[in-house]
Amino acid sequence: MTLQLNASFKGFPGHLAPLDLKDVGAQRWQVLKGDLPFPLAIVRQSALQHNLQWMQNFCKQRGLDIAPHGKTTMSPELYQMQLNAGAWGISFATVFQANLGARNGVKRIIIANQVYQAPDLDALAALLQAFPELRVYFLVDSMAQMEAIAQWRASRGSQLNLTVLIELGIEGKRTGCRDHAQALELARLIKHTPHMQLCGVETYEGALATCNHAHDQTHVAALMARLQQLTVACEAEQLFEHDEVLLTAGGSAIFDLVAKDLKPHLKRPARGILRSGCYLTHDHVQYRKMLQCVGERLNLRETLKPALEVISSVQSCPEPGLALLTMGKRDVSYDLDLPVALWRAQLGDSATRGVPSHWHIEALNDQHAYLHFDASAPVNEHPQVGQLVGSGISHPCTTFDKWRWMPMIDEQFNVVDAISVNF
């Protein structure tokens, strides 16, 4: 059942009758003509397609699969695009998110997090019962988590089969076993736990990313050596209970550094799976910087292209050097960097122009962006009330979570499709 847009959806024209998401492209809306209200988050179709193919090629060349992190977009339409492009499955952070994926056709899910609370285990059990073909893998990193699962089983009388991955962690960072002995002991416990099977090992290297080549390469190499050591030890004791061992890592910043070490030499087949999520839309600041470093390490001419922008309008120029835009913290990410003004256009223009170099967004309120500019610059370089301003974002995850839908546009700003967002 397709989502129906209406006046309660930000970015949808409030005077129009409700409209099915699938019919958006047929409306022939044109963004620069003002057919949609601002602020408006848009996805560039050509950049999206480029990023899909680029990442699939990256994985294919290295004999890897990808289960992109679905928490980035929470968009079933984008999941389907990723699966159609060749994704092995989709990753999620919570059972709630996994439910969205399963209800929208995802057959393989990695919950890259610990599952242990009774309501989550109840929901997971219901999900696996509702979708018999579904395969779900989640992370385990402690005896305490195992005890919580055992208590849930006892209270429910459950014999549900659970497939899990040992998480290998990093001191001072996020979840995961801190040392080899702890991880191996946990793997042995799983082996002797009824209705639970160890299928592989997981880690997350993203917390190490600095864009300092020497630092990142050294620390990631050490982490992946630990992952290899644990995997070999688990196989030696026959602790893996599936025919195929899953090894998974890979955030969106330094995934190239783990890629070469995700296929260890084991007696049984091993599948290396990247979980990068932000690659799909990329961004204009944080991940752009990180992918420049990836490009340097791999000597690449081209990497990913930013596909996500937020368009706002100049609503006021109350004093020299200051303009207020119609977007704020409710519309665009700000947790890593403030948005960056990219282009300007008058309403009705057929094309955009770049913004002067002295334009800078320097602060956000809930509903306003503070655009500072050089008041001594020529008047034609000043923002004007009613002018459209397209801004690049930093960190797509926290822009997606501010919208319930987004139009997809071509290079001429024609709306050709739309996606839903489910946070």
**Tens digits of pLDDT across the chain (423 residues):** 689 999 999 999 999 999 999 999 999 999 999 999 999 999 999 999 999 999 999 999 999 999 999 999 999 999 999 999 999 999 999 999 999 999 999 999 999 999 999 999 999 999 999 999 999 999 999 999 999 999 999 999 999 999 999 999 999 999 999 999 999 999 999 999 999 999 999 999 999 999 999 999 999 999 999 999 999 999 999 999 988 999 999 999 999 999 989 987 888 899 999 999 999 999 999 999 999 999 999 999 999 999 999 999 999 999 999 999 999 999 999 999 999 999 999 999 999 999 999 999 999 999 999 999 999 999 999 999 999 999 999 999 999 999 999 999 999 999 999 999 999
Q: What is the reported pTM?
A: 0.97
Query: Tokens 């119609």 map to which residue?
Result: 326
Q: Which of 176, 169, 204 is nearest to 277 (CA)?
A: 204
Whether the bond into 13 is cis, omega within 30 of 0: no
Distance of CA 320 to CAs 359, 372, 396, Å?
A: 13, 9, 32
Neighbours of 320 (CB within 10 A): 10
Q: Domains in the chain, start-ordered, CATH in brackets? A: 4-44+304-420 (2.40.37.20), 107-276 (3.20.20.10)
Q: Which of 261, 256, 262 is nearest to 276 (CA)?
A: 256
C-alpha 250/C-alpha 276 separation (Å) is: 6
C-alpha 100/C-alpha 110 separation (Å) is: 13
